[in-house]
Structure 1
Amino acid sequence: MKRTAAIVCLSAVLVTAGCTDSKSDSGGKPDPNNEKQASAEVVKNFAAAWVKAWAPDGKPDAAAALTDTPATFGKRLDEVDSALVAQSVTVTPQGDPKCSDDNNCTQDLAVEAVLRGIGTMKWTSTAAAVKTGDAWKIKASGDTIYPGLGESNYLKRVRALPARASILDRNGQPLTANRQVVIVGVASGNVATAATYAAFKAKLDVDGAKLKARAIAAPAGQFVDAITIRMNEWQALAPTFGKLPGVLTMGGTQSLAESPTFARSLLGTMKTATEETLKNAGPTASAVDQVGTTGLQYSYQQQLAGTPGGTVTLRDGKTKLTIKTVFSQQGKPGTPVKTTIDPKLQRFAEAALATSKLPASLVAIQPSTGQILAAANGPTPTNYNRAFLGRYAPGSTFKIVTSAALLGSGLTVNTPLPCTNTINVFGKTFKNYDGLAAYGNGPMQKAFNESCNTAFISQHARLKSDGMTKAAAMFGIGQDLKLSVPAYGGEVPAPKDDVAEAASMIGQGTVTASPLAMAVVAGAVQHGTALKPVLVPGKDPAGAAASPLPAATVAALRTFMRTTVTGGTAHALAPYGSAAAKTGTAEVVSNGKVITNGWMVGYRGDVAFAVIVEGGVSGGKAAGPILANFISKFS
Structure 2
Amino acid sequence: MKRTAAIVSLSALLITAGCSDSTPDSGGKTDPNDEKQASAAVVKAFAAGWVKAWAPDGKPTEAAALTDAPATFGPRLDDVDSALVAQSVAVTPQGEPNCTDGSNCTQELAVEAVLRGIGTMKWTSTATAVKTGDAWKIKASGDTIYPGLGDANYLKRVRTLPARASILDRTGKPLTSNRPVVIIGVASGNKATAATYAAFTKYLDVDGTKLWNRAKSSPAGQFVDAITIRAEEWDTLRPKFANLPGVLTMGGTQSLPESSTFGRSVIGTMKTATAETLKNAGPTASTQDQVGTTGLQYSYQQQLAGTPGGTVTLRDGKTKMAIKEVFKQEGKAGTPVRTTLDTNLQRYAEAALATSKLPASLVAVQASTGQILAAANGPTATNYNRAFQGHYAPGSTMKVVTSAALMGTGLTASSPLTCSNTINVFGKTFKNYDGLAAYGAGTMEKALNQSCNTAFISQHGRLPADGMTKAAAMFGFGQDLKLSIPAYGGEVPAPKDDVAEAASMIGQGTVTASPLQMAMVAGTVKNGTALKPVLVPGKDPAGPAAAALPPATANALRTMMRTTVTGGTAKVLAANGAVSAKTGTAEVVSNGKVITNGWMVGYRGDVAFAVIVEGGASGAKAAGPILKNFLTRFK
TM-score, normalised with respect to structure 1: 0.96
What is the aligned partner in structure 2 of residue 5 from structure 1? Answer: none
Alignment deviations for residues 430-452 of structure 1 (CA, whole Å, 9 cap, x no partner): 11111212222321101111111
Distance 1:23 1:137 in 2: 24
Paired residue type of 1:278: L
CA deviations over 1:509-541 (Å, ceiling 9, x no partner): 111110001100000001111111111111111
User: What letter is aligned with 1:236?
Assistant: T
- Residue 39, structure 1, aligned to residue 39, structure 2: yes
Q: What's 1:277 paired with?
A: 277
User: What is residue 187 of structure 2 aligned with on the other side?
Assistant: 187
Letter in 1 for 2:607: V
Partner of 1:68: 68
1:68-467 alignment to 2 at 5 Å? 68-467=68-467
Secondary structure in 2 matching 1:442: coil
- 3-state SS in 2 of match to 1:265: helix
Deviations 1:55-90 (A, max 9, x none): 111111111112221111110111000000111111
2:626 maps to 626
> How much does 1:103 deviate?
2.1
Secondary structure, aligned partner of 1:47:
helix
Aligned to 1:4: none
Question: Which runs of 5 or more residues in structure 2 are unaligned?
Answer: 1-11
Query: How many angstroms apart in 2 are the aligned matches of 1:73 and 1:98?
Result: 23
Q: Is the 8 A contact 2:19 2:96 kept in 1?
A: no
Stretch of structure 1 that moved more, 501-510 or 203-212: 501-510
* 1:223-258 deviation per Cα after TM superposition (whole angstroms, max 9, x unaligned): 111111111111111123222111111111111111
Mark the runs of 5 or more structure 1 residues left unpaired by the alignment. 1-11
Say if 2:485 is the partner of 1:485.
yes
Quote how far apart the aligned CAs of 1:335 are. Answer: 1.2
Q: Is the 8 A contact 1:190 1:215 kept in 2?
A: yes
**Secondary structure of 2:596's match?**
strand
Identity %: 81
Distance 1:338 1:199 in 2: 39
Q: Distance in 1 between matches of 2:584 and 2:58?
A: 61
CA distance in 1, matches of 2:569, 2:511: 22
Q: Which amino acid aligns with 2:592?
A: G
Cα 1:555–1:378 change in 2 (3 A) is same
- Supply the AA of the counterpart residue of 2:604: R
Counterpart residue type for residue 304 of structure 1: L
Please report how far the alpha carbon of residue 359 of structure 1 lies from its aligned counterpart in structure 2 after TM superposition.
0.3
CA distance in 2, matches of 1:605, 1:401: 21
What is the DSSP-based 3-state SS (H/G/I as helix, E as strand, rest coil) of the residue aligned with 2:206?
coil
Q: Report the CA distance shift for 1:13/1:520 in structure 2 as closer, same or farther (over 3 A).
A: closer
Count of aligned pairs between the two proteins: 624
What is residue 496 of structure 2 aligned with on the other side?
Answer: 496
Shift of 1:174: 0.8
| 1:518 and 2:518 correspond | yes
Aligned Cα root-mean-square deviation (Å): 1.5
Match of 1:29 in 2: 29
Gap change, CA 1:43 and 1:578, over 3 Å in 2: same
Query: Do the aligned residues in 1 keep the contact of 2:20 with 2:37 (CA within 8 Å)?
Result: no
Instruction: Give the deviation of 1:425 after TM superposition.
Output: 1.6
Give the aligned partner of residue 3 of structure 1: none
Task: Read off the aligned partner of 1:361 and give its amino acid letter.
Answer: S
Listed one character per residue, the Cα deviations across residues 419-473 of structure 1 (whole Å, up to 9, x for unaligned) are 2222222222211111212222321101111111111111112112211111111
Structure 1 contact 181–254 (Cα < 8 Å) conserved: yes
Alignment of 1:528 with 2:563, yes or no, is no
CA distance in 1, matches of 2:522, 2:413: 19
Contact 1:534 1:540 in 2 (8 A): yes
2-side partners of 1:117 and 1:62: how far apart?
27
The residue identity in structure 2 corresponding to 1:350 is: E
Measure the CA separation in 1 of the matches of 2:48 and 2:491.
Answer: 55
How far 1:18 sits from its partner (Å)?
A: 8.0
Q: Per the alignment, do residues 58 and 460 of structure 1 end up closer, same or farther by CA in structure 2, a change over 3 Å counting?
A: same
The worse-fitting range, judged by mean Cα deviation, of 361-370 and 65-74 is: 65-74
My pick for the range that moved more, 604-613 or 433-442, is: 433-442
Mapping 1:598-609, distance limit 5 Å: 598-609=598-609
**C-alpha deviation, 1:160, in angstroms:** 0.9
Shift in CA distance, 547/424, structure 1 to aligned 2, threshold 3 Å: same
CA contact (8 A) 2:19 2:37 kept: no
2:562 equivalent in structure 1 = 562
